[in-house]
Chain A
Amino acid sequence: DAKTTQPPSMDCAEGRAANLPCNHSTISGNEYVYWYRQIHSQGPQYIIHGLKNNETNEMASLIITEDRKSSTLILPHATLRDTAVYYCIVSYQAGTALIFGKGTTLSVSS
């Protein structure tokens, strides 16, 4: 079973920041938080991952709370192409199979 809890859906206006929350209250000390997204009819795409510190790349920022029980994925300026299902996954390390939940469907509108 997935170790994370995400809202089933969220809406965001184009150009605004999209903040997607994820709860992972049972995360263990050496488990990473991964975020993937899946645009309709495509395979999932890696976005970002982190262990303890906040992370940023060209796609998004990942904010992990100090107790590591929750995190937020931030898309700073959402576009229509960011409409997708976003999956938050907790896993020990790459090479370990990722267990997907149902994710959050993000709808970006103009």
Chain B
Amino acid sequence: EAEVAQSPRYKITEKSQAVAFWCDPISGHATLYWYRQILGQGPELLVQFQDESVVDDSQLPKDRFSAERLKGVDSTLKIQPAELGDSAMYLCASSFQLGATGELFFGEGSRLTVL
């Protein structure tokens, strides 16, 4: 069964360092999402892509976070510099296309700990 791939699975970094997460969606899925999940809370949307274009990044802290999906396939989420409050699970999800009913497919997530 096709899956959304994410790496690294775990990342420990010191504050003020840069960190990057990678996501490879299910083949053929045009829509890609990055969510952040703080322990004990539900996932919070950071950015949504349709192919290589950003559809919604209103909740992305743009002073330190950036996201790209250059060829409309895989995506990278970067944090620079990392802060203590960035410790969370970063989840990537994909769906077939806008307008289709159905499900979002989530990856296993990348757990970030900032010391």
In the complex, per-residue mask of B85-115: 1 if CB is within 8 Å of any chain A CB, else 0: 0000001010111111111111111010000
Choice from A85, A98, A103 contacting B104 with Cβ under 8 Å: A98
**B42 in the interface, Cβ–Cβ < 8 Å?**
yes
Inter-chain contact B42/A100, CB cutoff 8 Å: yes
Choice from B42, B43, B44, B97 contacting A95 with Cβ under 8 Å: B97
Inter-chain contact B95/A95, CB cutoff 8 Å: yes
* A41 contacts across to B, CB distance below 8 A: 109, 111
Q: How many residues of B contact A (CB 8 A)?
A: 30
Inter-chain contact B56/A44, CB cutoff 8 Å: no
> In the assembly, what is the distance between CA of A94 and CA of B48, in Å?
12
Q: How many residues of A contact B (CB 8 A)?
A: 24
Inter-chain contact A43/B93, CB cutoff 8 Å: yes
Inter-chain contact B108/A43, CB cutoff 8 Å: yes
Q: How far is the CB of A1 from chain B (nearest CB, A)?
A: 11
Inter-chain contact B106/A43, CB cutoff 8 Å: yes
Chain A residue nearest in CB terms to B56: A97
Inter-chain contact A45/B106, CB cutoff 8 Å: yes
List A residues 29-61 near B (Cβ within 8 Å).
Answer: 32, 34, 36, 41-46, 49
Q: A-contacting residues of B (Cβ < 8 Å)? A: 4, 31, 33, 35, 41-45, 48, 50, 56, 91, 93, 95-109, 111
Q: B-contacting residues of A (Cβ < 8 Å)? A: 2, 32, 34, 36, 41-46, 49, 85, 87, 93-103
